[in-house]
A and B are shown apart, each in its own frame.
Chain A
Amino acid sequence: MKLDTSPRLADPDAIFARLVEAHLGLDEAASRRLDARLVLILANHVGDEAVLRQAIALARDPAPPNARR
């Protein structure tokens, strides 16, 4: 399956705020673990290794294709 990068969030500002709020009061290490837990939960929800590989590659290199050197 192909990674879907089209805009899919009905209320993007709210999701952004939820993600940031989730880290409130956490120190650096705890914050990092929260992100890791979140990634693992979502990775399991996605379930498709090919999609996850594409997502990891995109996260590693978020620049648009025509901006790459």
Chain B
Amino acid sequence: MPHANPRYPATPPPASGRDHRRVVVVGGGLVGLTLALDLARHGVAVTLLDEEDSVATGSRAICFAKRTLEIYGRLGLGEKLLARGVTWKTGRVFHQDRQVYAFDLLPEEGHRYPAFVNIQQYHVEAWLVEACAEAGVDLRWRHQVTGLAADADGVTLTVTTPSGAYALRADWLLACDGARSFIRRSLGLPLHGQVFQDRFLIADVVIRGEVAFPAERWFWFDPPFHPGQSVLLHKQPDELWRIDFQLGAEADPESEQQPERVRARVAAMLGPDVPFELEWVSLYTFRCRRLDRFVQGRVVLAGDSAHQVSPFGARGGNGGVQDADNLAWKLAAILRGEAGPALLASYEAERIAAAEENILHSTRATDFISPKTPAARAYRDAVLELAEGHAFARALVNSGRLSRPAVLADSPLNAADDGTWPGGAETGSPAPDAPVRHQGRPDWLLRHLGGEFALLVFDAVWTPVPGLRAVFVTAEETPGTLWDHSGLAAARYGAPPGGAVLIRPDQHIAARFAAPRPGAIRAALARALGQMEHAA
């Protein structure tokens, strides 16, 4: 029985034929829904337009990385992903009929979330829709943007619905409308980067009963069942397996999607006696490219509309969710009048750096997986021939460098340390999690940081800057604090006793104070809000 997506009722257009909203998100995919939910949680009235009436067709982005899980943890969905998804951390790489090596993505204990959870994008989107509705997001299904006129103070959209069109004025337009973004094309914004010719085939396959594969990422170069090409296997919930076949540049997109042809490929891999059903088949090529600017006046682009990567490394969905995480609190602060254009400019600076990193890694992985020249193929095969016996060559095997959180090391919002900070997570990195005890119960540090600025104070309880929430972490059990019983919190932050760390609403580190003083904390807070003139 194939998965049936929920259907949402088409939203009637406003009777007057016109409407004015402060913030409009276009695109109800993973990124648009995450952004709308995060904005709503920050108290912003959001309207979300989606041209369809449902969530994603097919499993699509299935690998949710630790950082994304932590973001969904902040938004209240993390436990759901953990409970429903398939947790994995081991990857295996095969060359022809031999295992070349295996790797462990999170060899360290003491994190709430694992390296990865695999779950179908449609499940996550359906939960996001529910959460958006509960948070008061104005969800408009089957509202398609068919026209756009931008000016200095906003954008006027023509929105077409099954019951007619209307004019929608938006003070801010957030384009989360995907790789083929109508908004981006209407604005005439070019993407720069590489287009790849190789075709790949996704088959989502239901296998009931005993399966020969564990919940791991398996990648084959040139396997006997699919010679000359690569294959990638992932486990999903619901007895569902994702198989990704490289087909090469010459493959015919029509015939390759025919079910009997796909079934033959899957049967060659699984063996003749393993019964399976095809749930979803998709043929794709990909691009590694981005826009020059992510902010165009009152239009902000996020996710695939702004940047695109190959799927190797799970950097598309995870990158887009981090865009949303980065943008929501900044736009909310601007709308509250607490910050100006400099804060929005930092979204662009931080997320372009992150997109560059994702594009670099995904381009390199693609070049390794599908070599473009005889020399490239010789080097690739040479690496694989050496890798089984020699650790140095394993480091050169690139079947996808899996998504890592962006470290915003060069962000204009970061403040310099006030003295010597002993080590640990650097300024700009996501706040590390750690196990703590709270009121006698086991708990996690990140759960206490929340979605506003917070000052994490180590081994001291004092009155910090008024209006700035403090979270106290102590080495000894103390009432009103988080007890760092294992010492992992202090170790991961590298915090000296009495030290403090300023955490942004998106749970990135903005500043570290070895000897915290209110003046320096206030200056760092102003800097993190893009108020540079106060942050000399």
Contacts and interface: CB of A to CB of B under 8 A. Distances in A.
A32 B378 contact: yes
Interface string B365-381: 00000000011001101
A47 to B, nearest CB: 9
Given A32-B374, A32-B375, A40 B396 contact: yes
B378 A44 contact: no
B435 to A, nearest CB: 38
Interface in A6-50: 29, 32-33, 35-37, 39-41, 44
B382 A36 contact: yes
Nearest to B395: A44
Nearest to A35: B378
Given A33-B382, A36-B382, A37-B382, A44 B375 contact: no
A40 B378 contact: no
Interface stretch (B70-78, B157-165, B234-242, B385-393): B385-393
Interface residues of B, number: 12
A36 B374 CA distance: 11
B393 A36 contact: no
Contacts of A40: 379, 382-383, 386, 393, 396
Nearest to B376: A36
A25 B375 CA distance: 20
Contacts of A44: 392-393
A14 B212 CA distance: 52
A35 B374 CA distance: 13
A33 B381 contact: yes
A41 B383 CA distance: 10
Contacts of B378: 29, 32-33, 35-36
A33 B386 contact: no
Contacts of B392: 44
Contacts of B379: 36, 39-40
- Determine chain A's interface SS by DSSP, over half rule: helix
Contact of B381 (A36, A39, A41): A36
Contacts of B386: 37, 40-41
B38 to A, nearest CB: 40
B389 to A, nearest CB: 11
A25 to B, nearest CB: 17
B330 to A, nearest CB: 37
A37 B385 CA distance: 8
Contacts of A37: 382, 385-386
Contacts of B375: 32, 36
Contacts of A41: 386
B401 to A, nearest CB: 18
A41 B385 CA distance: 12
A42 B362 CA distance: 27
A29 B380 CA distance: 12
Nearest to B392: A44
Nearest to A45: B392
B296 to A, nearest CB: 38
Contacts of A35: 378
Contacts of A36: 375, 378-379, 381-382
B393 to A, nearest CB: 7
A36 B396 CA distance: 13
Of listed B381, B382, B383, B392, residue having the most chain A CB within 10 A? B382
Of listed B374, B378, B379, B381, residue having the most chain A CB within 10 A? B378
Nearest to B380: A36
A29 B374 CA distance: 8
A68 B396 CA distance: 34
Contacts of B374: 29, 32
A37 B381 CA distance: 9
A32 B382 CA distance: 9
Top 6 closest pairs, chain A to chain B, by CB: A36-B382, A32-B378, A37-B382, A44-B392, A36-B378, A36-B379
Interface of B: 374-375, 378-379, 381-383, 385-386, 392-393, 396
13 contacts: A29-B378, A32-B374, A33-B385, A35-B378, A36-B375, A36-B379, A36-B382, A37-B382, A37-B386, A40-B382, A40-B383, A44-B392, A44-B393
Given A36-B379, A37-B385, A40-B379, 4 more contacts: A32-B378, A33-B382, A36-B382, A39-B382
